């Protein structure tokens, strides 16, 4: 390592700084030390954050050259080895190992003079950078990052594929098409070069997706009604299922100003309010249970409900 000679015999004059190629020189306001290397004077930065023998410029220079360094109360550590150690060392090559001192941030300097301390840290950093364990850790970290990016890209592709299928199903339901048309629509998109996945799309899958879309739209619409505190009215009717079980048909009629509606509309209706008890008390209990599942509580009804209409059948 090349060094410039410095004079140790001057008193009352500024001592020339020793220039070390691996470290930038200390500031001009630094005071001299017996070994000829200037020591920071009145350093306002907390010296416990990095080794106390380093100046701010030296710290920044080492971080620029070794971006894996981290500080631990005046001691050094390797963030790459630390992170790989947390993942496990199964991928470590034979003959390589992670130094516990570097993974735990316990590396410190030795020597009485600042010159010796700087030299010891440079030597330890250099030896660790060139060690088999650190090189293996860097390789493993790069592989993990690549796998993470590939996984994220794969999930993004799957999400885009799912969106395409949901849009197609929504079109089928919106146009009152047969659910059997979904397969033909998907085949057409594949012929046009659009990736829509590699699974089958029978009518049952279309029906499930329609139910999911309708459920999410219902939740979003109810949130708009409750957030806007719009007035609403309930229209009730009864019907039966295929198994002849009685159900309650419920319509919500409301007006939401921000949706630029011409007037009140029947915004929601569903046929899944099954009645185990067809008495007045049973109908009321089932109705309130369904409304509360959609966040239309008694408090919301007290504030927003203006009318309740039914055919008079208990």
50 plus 101 within the same structural domain: yes
71 plus 121 within the same structural domain: yes
Tell which of 82, 105, 130 closes a domain: 130
Q: Is residue 89 part of a domain?
A: yes
Beta pairing class for 232-240 and 305-309: parallel
17 plus 94 within the same structural domain: yes
Q: Is residue 216 part of a domain?
A: no
pLDDT at 283 over 70: yes
299 plus 254 within the same structural domain: yes
Q: For position 21, what pLDDT does the model report?
A: 37
Give CA–CA dist 141/68, Å, rounded: 11
Give CA–CA dist 143/106, Å, rounded: 27
Contacts of 285 (CB under 8 A, 6+ apart): 277
Q: Is residue 135 part of a domain?
A: no
pLDDT at 45 over 70: no
Average model confidence (pLDDT) for the chain?
75
69 plus 165 within the same structural domain: no
pLDDT at 167 over 60: yes
Is the Cα torsion angle 205, 207, 211, 214 positive or negative in sign? positive
Residue 190: domain span: 140-201
122 plus 189 within the same structural domain: no
Number of structural domains (the chain) is 3
pLDDT at 259 over 70: no
164 plus 265 within the same structural domain: no
pLDDT digits (tens, 9 = 90+) for 176-234: 899 988 888 888 888 888 888 877 778 888 999 998 998 888 888 888 888 888 888 88
pLDDT at 264 over 80: no
DSSP 194: -
80 plus 12 within the same structural domain: yes
Q: Residue 150 belongs to what H/E stretch?
A: helix 132-174
247 plus 192 within the same structural domain: no
104 plus 193 within the same structural domain: no
What is this structure's pTM?
Answer: 0.53
Q: Is residue 256 part of a domain?
A: yes
195 plus 284 within the same structural domain: no
Tokens of 293: 């599942």
Count CB neighbours of 128 within 10 A: 21
Q: Residue 307 belongs to what H/E stretch?
A: strand 305-309
For residues 227 and 259, is the Cβ–Cβ distance under 8 A? Answer: no
pLDDT at 10 over 60: no
Q: Is residue 211 part of a domain?
A: no
More confident residue, 180 or 39: 180
Above pLDDT 90, what percent of the chain?
4
Count CB neighbours of 118 within 10 A: 22
Tell which of 168, 201, 234 closes a domain: 201
2 plus 107 within the same structural domain: yes
Q: Across residues 277-288, what is the average pLDDT?
A: 84
Q: Is residue 218 part of a domain?
A: no
Tokens 């735990």 sit on residue: 104
Q: Is residue 215 part of a domain?
A: no
Q: Is residue 19 part of a domain?
A: yes
């Amino acid at each position: 390592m090349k060094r410039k000679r410095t004079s140790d015999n001057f008193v009352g004059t500024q001592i020339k700084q020793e220039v070390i190629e691996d470290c930038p020189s200390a500031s001009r306001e630094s005071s001299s030390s017996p070994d000829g290397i200037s020591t920071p004077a009145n350093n306002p930065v907390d010296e416990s954050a990095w080794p106390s023998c380093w100046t701010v410029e030296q710290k920044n220079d080492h971080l620029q050259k070794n971006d894996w360094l981290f500080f631990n109360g005046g001691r050094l550590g390797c963030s790459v080895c630390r992170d790989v150690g947390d993942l496990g060392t199964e991928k470590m090559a034979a003959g390589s190992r992670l130094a516990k001192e570097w993974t735990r941030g316990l590396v410190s300097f030795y020597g009485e003079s600042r010159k010796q301390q700087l030299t010891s840290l440079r030597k330890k950093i250099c030896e660790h950078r060139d060690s088999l364990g650190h090189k293996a850790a860097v390789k493993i970290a790069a592989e993990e990052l690549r796998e993470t990016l590939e996984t994220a890209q794969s999930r993004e592709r799957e999400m885009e594929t799912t969106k395409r299928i949901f849009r197609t199903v929504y079109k089928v339901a919106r146009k009152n098409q047969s659910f059997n048309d979904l397969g033909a629509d998907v085949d057409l998109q594949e012929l046009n070069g659009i990736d829509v996945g590699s699974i089958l799309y029978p009518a049952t899958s279309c029906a499930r997706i329609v139910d999911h879309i309708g459920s999410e739209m219902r939740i979003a619409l109810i949130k708009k009604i409750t957030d806007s505190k719009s007035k609403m009215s309930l229209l009730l009717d009864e019907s039966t299922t295929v198994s002849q079980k009685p159900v309650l048909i419920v319509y919500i009629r409301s007006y939401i100003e921000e949706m630029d509606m011409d007037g009140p509309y029947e915004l929601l209706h569903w046929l899944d309010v099954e009645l185990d008890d067809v008495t007045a008390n049973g109908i009321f209990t089932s109705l309130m249970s369904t409304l509360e599942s959609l966040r239309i509580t008694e408090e919301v009804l007290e504030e927003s409900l203006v009318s309740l209409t039914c055919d008079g059948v208990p």
